[in-house]
A and B are shown apart, each in its own frame.
Chain A
Amino acid sequence: MTDARKLRSSGNWWTVYGGPLLIGVLSVAGLLTALLSEGAGRYFSWIAVGAPVALTGWFFARRKRR
């Protein structure tokens, strides 16, 4: 079982949690930026907090092409 898993998986910590972690850090940064600054910070917050939506759309579009 262990050998089979090693052969098949690209399953290390980073490939599994890296994506969600990056998007999570970006989200929190965006949430706080909007709270702490007006003006330019707002534009960043829209991009950062909206990233999960955009990323989902991108994954969805990519799936369609297959």
Chain B
Amino acid sequence: MVHTWSSLISTLFLLLLCITGLPLIFHHEIDELLGYDPKPEIAQPGAVKRSIDEIARTALAHDPGRVLQYILWDKDEPNNVIAFTNNKVDGDPDAATLRAYDAHTAKPLGSVGGGPMLIFLKLHVDMFAGQPGKLFLGAMGFLFLVAIVSGVVLYWPFTRRLSFGTLRDKSRRIAWFDWHNLLGAVTIAWALVVGATGVINTLAEVMLSQWKANELTDMVKPYAGKPPPVHLASLDVALENARKAAPDMNVSFVAFPGTPFTSSHHFAVFMRGDTPLTSRLLKPVLLDGETGEVSDARDLPVYLKALLVSQPLHFGDYGGMPLKIIWALLDIMTIVVIVSGLYLWVVKRRKHRSHAIAGQPALQPSR
């Protein structure tokens, strides 16, 4: 019963997640192919990188009337400087524009993201329904986890007499039943990990608000009641100070005062390490918005670290192209499990009904 209902309620949305997730595994490659992933020009030997202040000015001139929210450095493309602009510092994330600038020439290279992959991403993350849509999909993901666990319990009565990996072709129903069991059984661990990390991801905003309400508020206590900065400090000064505060780390992105990732008084420079694991674990350095002096630097709380480490386990983008291909195959196997499960339910219902008509009891164990 638990298996049937947790699966049935979430089936449609799980299919949506699996199908939209499939191209998203390769979004980097597809964006590159379609021109939504601009590349920097090949730098002249000995070329010097432009100041970030200059790139910030270029970005603002490129999108007049807008403000900068974030400047981000791609880990794999250090010569791309990506600027987020929006109509307000705390504007709607969907209204943000992302453009890449060449680190050596400050030339605009084109917009980042967008195109068909953005549509897939929106469908996958919140179905264009904002935070409620996101939390709803989180609930569907949770039902997916319930369906997997209840499926493991049911596996015993249904396969007790069969050896592992039995595939019979006695009838269409039995063939689908065996495929459902085999594909379900071999993908349990992967599906649990991808499902659980997906659910954790739907709570990202909730965790961020939690951090802002507790840790961040505590870090910026000395600034409570002060007006927001009027003249912003030089970004180059702020970045230099942030690097000194976290000497073994690199800059991942800087959040401008008033954006969701920092206080209204501070630049937050998020630093990352350089191993596969530490590059996910960001450390925020808060700097006074007017002077660019370091005010505080603390590690993120455990729940945000868990979120950051869990993200690659959902995306499958952390082990090269072979891992992405395997991710896609496992995703397709999960689609087969979902569709075959639905098929088995429909067939069983039909059988129940015809038995009821003939006045015979249904002989199958109830699921």
Contact of B156 with A16 in the complex, beta carbons under 8 Å: yes
Question: Counting CB contacts under 8 A, is B309 at the interface?
Answer: yes
Interface residues of B in 274-310 (CB under 8 A from A): 275-277, 309
Q: How would residues 181 to 198 of chain B score, 1 for a CB under 8 Å from any chain A CB and 0 otherwise? A: 011011111100100000
Does B362 count as interface, using CB distance less than 8 angstroms?
Answer: no
Per the 8 Å Cβ criterion, residues 18-70 of B in contact with A are none
Q: Is B118 an interface residue (CB 8 A)?
A: no
In the complex, chain B residues whose CB is within 8 Å of the CB of A27: 189-190, 193
A25 touches B160 (CB 8 A): no
In the complex, what distance in Å separates the CA atom of A10 from the CA atom of B160? 7
Complexed CA–CA distance, A45 and B185 (Å): 19
B322 contacts chain A at the CB level, 8 A cutoff:
yes
Q: In the complex, how many angstroms separate the beta carbon of B38 from the nearest chain A beta carbon? A: 26
Complex: how many Å from CA A9 to CA B163?
10
Chain A-chain B contacts (Cβ-Cβ < 8 Å), number: 100
* Dominant secondary structure of chain B at its interface with chain A: helix
Asked if residues B164 and A31 are in contact (CB atoms below 8 Å), the reply is no
Known contacts: A35-B276, A35-B309. The answer to whether A49 contacts B163 by CB under 8 A is no
Cβ-defined partner of A34 (8 Å) among B155, B165, B183, B319? B319
Interface string of B262-283 (1 = CB under 8 A from A): 0000000000000111000000
Chain A interface, number of residues (Cβ within 8 angstroms): 37
Q: Are B319 and A45 in contact (CB under 8 A)?
A: yes
User: Are A24 and B161 in contact (CB-based, < 8 A)?
Assistant: no
Partner of A19, one of B164, B189, B193, B320: B164
CB distance B189 to A34 under 8 Å?
Answer: no
Q: Interface-forming stretch among B8-16, B126-134, B229-237, B323-331?
A: B323-331
| A20 and B164 within 8 A (CB) | yes
CA distance A65 to B275 in the complex (A): 47
For residue A1, CB closer than 8 A to chain B, the reply is no
Q: Whole-angstrom distance between the alpha carbons of A17 and B193 in the complex?
A: 19
For B329, list chain A residues within 8 Å (CB).
Answer: 50, 53
Interface residues of A in 15-66 (CB under 8 A from B): 15-20, 23-25, 27-28, 31, 34-38, 42, 45-46, 49-53, 55-56, 58-60, 62-63
- Give every chain A residue within 8 A of B100 (Cβ-Cβ): none
Name A37's closest neighbour in chain B (CB-CB). B276
Q: A28-B193, A53-B330 are in contact. List 18 more A-B contacts (CB 8 A).
A: A8-B161, A9-B161, A16-B164, A19-B164, A20-B155, A20-B188, A23-B186, A31-B189, A35-B309, A46-B319, A46-B322, A49-B323, A50-B322, A52-B330, A52-B333, A53-B333, A59-B165, A60-B167
Question: Closest 9 CB pairs between A and B?
Answer: A11-B160, A24-B189, A34-B319, A19-B164, A52-B186, A59-B165, A27-B189, A20-B185, A63-B167
What are 20 of the A-B contact pairs (CB < 8 Å)? A9-B161, A19-B164, A19-B185, A20-B164, A23-B186, A25-B189, A35-B309, A35-B313, A38-B275, A45-B319, A46-B320, A46-B322, A46-B323, A50-B326, A52-B333, A56-B183, A56-B333, A59-B182, A63-B167, A63-B169
